[in-house]
């Protein structure tokens, strides 16, 4: 008997979703505070994560549970490569390194693909549907915060192969609900989706230090300019 996996994933990850949004990096991002150095590090980390996920899911295209969710229209690796070329230049492959958090995330994906491929559904749902749902909003925030062109460094958020995002998500949920799994496996997939949120939170927390340092430099520069301006005014008076 089919299980309502889509609604279980939505309800079962609400707490983790909220926690991820409340990390310092994401909270600042949503408020329009975006440091380009921190952001390009995130883009690099995501490239490692999506490369692993798309490689493993592609390899499991014939798997009865993993295969049905495999969609080329969702794949982000090529989009991220365009963004990396924008931020790092043509030699980006030799310039980027995965942070420890990204390395752990990739390791988790590889382990799950090997030991229990069905659990990749939780990772797939967490990343891709989140990207598809909030992509345009996040793109606009990043574009304004970093003063970017319409597409420069923002391809990650653009799903050109999906004409109707709402209809796509409806079909995706139907696919989740039709997967040949029992309730015990559904519970494990929801648990793994929460683990995916945790992996994302670790990456975000790593970026907080860079963001705080960047904000500190801006604040220091502002205060220094004010002090100089104040000194000049005092002399002039």
Identify the pLDDT of residue 52: 98
Domain count, the chain: 1
Averaged pLDDT, 170-178: 97
Residue 232 pLDDT exceeds 50: no
CATH of the domain at 24: 1.20.910.10
The answer to whether position 222 is within a domain reads no
Residue 1 pLDDT exceeds 90: no
Residue 214 pLDDT exceeds 80: no
| Per-residue pLDDT reduced to its tens digit, 26-40 | 888 888 888 889 999
Q: Which of 104, 122, 137, 83 is nearest to 203 (CA)?
A: 104
* Helices 130-146 + 36-59 axis angle, to 10: 160
Most confident of 6-15, 129-138, 216-225: 6-15
Averaged pLDDT, 154-176: 96
The answer to whether position 190 is within a domain reads yes
| Per-residue pLDDT reduced to its tens digit, 42-94 | 999 999 999 999 999 999 999 999 999 999 999 999 999 999 999 999 999 99
Distance CA 112, CA 102 (A): 15
Residue 234 pLDDT exceeds 60: no
| pLDDT band, very low/low/confident/very high, at 210 (cuts 50, 70, 90) | low
Identify the pLDDT of residue 24: 86
Are 21 and 196 in contact by the 8 Å Cβ rule? The answer is: no
Cβ-based burial of 63 (10 A; exposed 0-12, middle 13-18, buried ≥19): middle
The answer to whether position 235 is within a domain reads no
| Per-residue pLDDT reduced to its tens digit, 93-152 | 999 999 999 999 999 999 999 999 999 999 999 999 999 988 888 899 999 999 998 889
The answer to whether position 226 is within a domain reads no
Q: Could you tell me how many helices (H) and strands (E) the chain has, helices first?
A: 11, 0
Q: How far is CA 218 from CA 179, 223, 234, in A?
A: 51, 9, 24
Residue 159 pLDDT exceeds 50: yes
Residue 220 pLDDT exceeds 50: no
pLDDT above 90: percentage of residues in the chain: 73
Q: Which of 116, 103, 108 is nearest to 47 (CA)?
A: 103
Range of the domain at 195: 5-208
The answer to whether position 215 is within a domain reads no
The answer to whether position 183 is within a domain reads yes
The answer to whether position 220 is within a domain reads no
């Amino acid at each position: 008997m089919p299980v309502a996996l889509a609604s279980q994933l939505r309800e079962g990850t609400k707490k983790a979703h909220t926690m991820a949004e409340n990390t310092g990096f994401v909270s600042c991002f949503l408020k329009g505070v975006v440091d380009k150095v921190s952001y390009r590090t995130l883009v690099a980390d995501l490239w490692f994560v999506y490369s692993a996920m798309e490689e493993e899911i592609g390899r499991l295209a014939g798997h009865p549970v993993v295969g049905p969710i495999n969609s080329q229209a969702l794949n982000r690796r090529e989009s991220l490569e365009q963004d990396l070329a924008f931020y790092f230049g043509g030699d980006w492959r030799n310039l980027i390194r995965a942070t420890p958090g990204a390395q752990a995330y990739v390791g988790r994906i590889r382990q799950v693909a090997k030991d229990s491929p069905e659990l990749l559904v939780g990772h797939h749902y967490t990343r891709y549907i989140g990207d598809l749902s909030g992509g345009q909003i996040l793109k606009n925030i990043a574009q304004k915060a970093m003063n970017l062109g319409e597409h420069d460094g923002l391809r990650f958020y653009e799903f050109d192969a999906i004409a109707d995002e709402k209809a796509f998500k409806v079909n995706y949920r139907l696919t989740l609900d039709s997967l040949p799994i029992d309730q015990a496996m559904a519970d494990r997939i929801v648990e793994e989706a929460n683990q995916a949120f945790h992996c994302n939170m670790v990456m975000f927390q790593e970026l907080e230090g860079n963001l705080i340092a960047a904000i500190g430099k801006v604040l220091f520069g502002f205060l220094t300019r004010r002090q100089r301006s104040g000194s000049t005014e005092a002399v002039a008076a």
